[in-house]
Amino acid sequence: MHPMLNTAVKAARRAASIINRASFDIDRIKVTQKGHNDFVTEVDQAAEQAIIDVLKTAYPDHAILAEETGASSNLHDDNDNVWIIDPLDGTTNFIHGFPQYCVSIALQQRGIITQAVIFDPTRNDLFTATKGSGAYLNEKRIRVGRRDKLADALIGTGFPFRSGDGLEEYIKMFRIMTEKCAGLRRPGAAALDLAYVAAGRLDGFFERGLQPWDMAAGSLLVTEAGGIVGTFAGESDYLYKNEAIAASPKVFSQMVNVLSQFKK
């Protein structure tokens, strides 16, 4: 395993142990509302701090972009190394004891994601990828699904949860995709949905309103597993465009055909 990936795995496991401990006593967790249906808990914050501590100890000069603390003071456009972190993707699920959430950590080097870790603490599923070396689940190689027709595909998505996120348009997309695929799932943690696409558990995924930390690690997992990630128009600059389609190549092009009418 690449040494930088090894450090990221260590950081993810450290965060997961905080999350697991808290999950046994969920009613006592302090929850703060950031906005409508947008929650943060002291667990998110403690997990993020644990990740940053591990990364900063190993790589003190690396920059950080994290969901709760934002950008580190040394984050610039031309950074050689930026860690992109979501300490607990699926916070709303976590608060309710619904076991679908994960830790997501990615390393971006000169604009390209090169290392990725997504860890699902409730199933002990460790998804990892290093650019050019394939994607793995618990050290076994994974590939995107083999289904080549959208009509046979199981597709993941996420509803917009903040008010003003274009729910009406989303319901239109939801309706069209429901008619065109075998099933639509909305589990509530985008990073884990992307990992599932990489592992062939979902044949595709689409969502709008995504942040870089939702997509960074998962996008490398998908591409290293032989899939494609892009915007609704099928373009490759999705990371800061707040939207993504991820799927196996054939399903990807069919999803773009359906969803490109909704591109921003």
Per-residue pLDDT of the chain (264 residues; tens, 9 = 90+): 899 999 999 999 999 999 999 998 888 888 888 777 677 789 999 999 999 999 999 999 999 999 988 898 888 877 899 999 999 999 999 999 999 999 999 999 999 999 999 999 999 999 999 999 999 999 999 999 999 999 999 999 998 766 666 788 899 999 999 999 999 999 999 999 999 999 999 999 999 999 999 999 999 999 999 999 999 999 999 999 999 999 999 999 999 999 999 887
- The domain segmentation of the chain, as residue ranges, is 3-142, 150-262
Q: Is the dihedral of CA 137, 207, 214, 185 positive or negative?
A: negative
CA distances from 90 to 59, 127, 193 (A): 28, 17, 11
Domain 3-142 fold is: Fructose-1,6-Bisphosphatase; Chain A, domain 1 (3.30.540)
Specify whether the CB–CB gap between 68 and 45 falls below 8 A. Answer: yes
CATH number of 150-262: 3.40.190.80
CA distances from 164 to 115, 209, 216 (A): 34, 11, 24
Query: How far apart, in whole angstroms, are the C-alpha atoms of residue 169 and residue 259?
Result: 11
pTM of the full predicted structure?
A: 0.95
Question: What is the Cβ-side half-sphere exposure of residue 243, based on CA atoms within 13 angstroms?
Answer: 17
User: Which conformational region is residue 209 in: left (phi greater than 0), alpha (psi within -120 to 50 degrees), or beta?
Assistant: left
